[in-house]
Amino acid sequence: MAVRVLAVELRRLELELVRSMSTSGGTHARRPVVLVRVETDLGAGWGECEALAAPTYTEEYADGTEQILAQWLVPMLLGGGRELEDSADAMRALEAVKGHRMAKAALEMALLDAELRDAGESLAKRLGATRREVAAGATVGTGSPETVVAAIAEAVAAGFARVKCKIAPGADVDPLRAVRAAFPDLELSVDANGAYRADLTADRIALDALDDLDLVAIEQPFEADDLVGHAELTARLRTPVLLDESVKSLGDLEAVLALHACDGVSVKPARLGGVLAARRVHDRCLAAGVHLSAGGMLETGLGRAVSLAVAALPGFDLPGDLGPSDRYFAPDLTVAHVLRDGMLLVPETPGIGAEPVAAVLEEATVRSTTYRAG
């Protein structure tokens, strides 16, 4: 099957989050979003770039991804007007640009959406998903013990059976002890976003203290490139250590596996360069006996539909943090993903399983530019 890309539209949106999220890297109160819409000779598809407002998670950020898409990736995709075999062939055509995985993932998402719509096939089916629903998870930001306990109580009352707490040095042991005292049976994990240092005694003491709280996992305690520190921590703790920012490619994963630098990987398709790369990481982890967790990026309903399809793969055995639309946006950019008995349905309609609601899209759009082949 050959496909020709005829045009690409870039849209910049600004959305307000229902509740701000404080992490070790700062507080997120608004959500800039870059959308791509590709027009092909098979039909059209939508994609979402999940880069945050500032380069505090990875080096990518919304303004930068908008620029790299406009100046490099979109012209390369449209250049020459050649036929492409499929979305994977399109991604190979963009390999001359190094990095910028979230920007590339947005184009891949849109191309897959068009390709799958034409084929009458869902993304979940194409990937080989084995679940029709995924257990939802709530993420709670850093704060005082009282604030964190109150936020978790609200999440539990809303139907969440699993919660992930953001932590940072000085905002870790006391809040988590209070949470565990209030909710002794809750599936509870923590995420440091690389805020700790393996060479600091105070940080090692704090992480050792968290090891006594019956946590599901401790996610990304050290900086992304500190694989030796993660390997030593993994060997020392009983609690599984998950890596997120450290794994951006299969090459990164192979280095992690060789060093035994974690017990599991948090999979976010955008961080890895798209859903096809996420599927490859899933398969490698499954073969290596490494745990998998599905992570979110404060994405809209477009990105959430893709994350749910990936999370429905068989290797995901640790709690993830994919939540319903109303925890993030009111209204969401798409028809809402709704929490039912603690679960989220995996989209089964052709394509990625979601598309923007026209009225919400127009209201949130700051600017839009369309680029055409030739």
Q: Which residues are tagged catalytic?
A: 166, 268
Going by C-alpha positions, the residue among 330, 335, 338, 322 that lies closest to residue 364 is: 330
CB burial string 278-311: b at 16+ within 10 A, e below: bbebbebbbeeebbbbbbbbbbbbbbbbbbbbbb
Chain centroid to CA 6: 29
Give CA angle at 320 (208, 101), nearest 5°.
100
Sheet with 187-191: strands ordered across: 138-140, 162-166, 187-191, 218-219, 241-243, 264-267, 291-294
Tell me the backbone φ, ψ of residue 328, rounded to 5 degrees: -120, -50
Instruction: Report the 10 Å Cβ neighbour count for 207.
Output: 25
Beta strands in the chain (DSSP E): 5-23, 26-40, 43-49, 133-135, 138-140, 162-166, 187-191, 218-219, 241-243, 264-267, 291-294, 343-345, 365-372
